[in-house]
């Protein structure tokens, strides 16, 4: 049975990244590359090999670990009934997405203190929050998320259910 020329496994642990390569056909043993202390044999320091390592590190660090750095644009809240509000927002600017936006999360709470309740909206630009108490003030924020996680939340918008928006 013939072993593959190149296989790769990645192990991420706190700040250490280890990448193991098995170069069986070349007669070399496993090669360990550690970001905190690069230890590569000089025989493998050719441009193509370095390009492959740098490419994998770039993809890992810049495409997989980043979340949106800006919140959704133009977050608006409107009281739609005596017990619900409609929250709407625009897209996150393309240069601040840092990946593919998979959806949005709406955070809300009664008043200005206490814990936030989350409502996952998916890949839409509005969400109706129901079951709220008429006449009570609510604070609302929105954030986008990628495969890696949630991004920056928008500024808090306040509204009275069945009433008006605070200035």
pLDDT for res 10 = 33
Residue 39 pLDDT > 60, yes or no?
no
Segment 113-135, tens digit of pLDDT? 889 999 999 899 999 999 999 99
| pTM beyond cutoff 0.75 | no
Q: What residue ranges define each of the domains in the chain, with the CATH number in brackets?
A: 7-64 (no CATH), 76-160 (2.60.40.10)
pLDDT for res 165 = 59
> For 147-164, what is the mean pLDDT?
89
- Percent of the chain exceeding pLDDT 90 equals 44
Q: 92 with 52: CB under 8 angstroms?
A: no
pLDDT for res 166 = 60
Query: In the structure encoding, which two tokens stand for residue 128, read together?
Result: 């109706």
- Alpha-carbon span 136 to 73, nearest angstrom: 26
Q: 70 with 93: CB under 8 angstroms?
A: yes
């Amino acid at each position: 049975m013939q072993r593959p020329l190149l296989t790769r496994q990645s192990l991420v642990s706190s700040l250490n990244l280890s990448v193991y390569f098995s170069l069986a056909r070349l007669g070399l043993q496993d090669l360990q590359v550690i970001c905190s202390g690069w230890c590569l044999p000089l025989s493998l320091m050719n441009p193509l090999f370095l390009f492959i390592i740098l490419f994998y590190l770039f993809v890992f660090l810049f495409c997989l670990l980043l979340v949106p750095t800006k919140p959704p644009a133009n977050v608006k809240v409107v009281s739609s009934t005596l017990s619900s509000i409609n929250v709407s927002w625009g897209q996150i600017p393309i240069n601040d997405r840092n990946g593919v936006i998979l959806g949005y999360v709406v955070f809300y709470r009664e008043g200005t203190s206490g814990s936030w309740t989350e409502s996952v909206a998916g890949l839409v630009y509005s969400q109706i929050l129901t079951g709220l108490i008429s006449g009570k003030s609510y604070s609302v924020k929105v954030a986008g998320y990628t495969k890696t996680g949630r991004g920056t939340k928008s500024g808090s918008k306040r509204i009275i259910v069945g009433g008006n928006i605070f200035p």
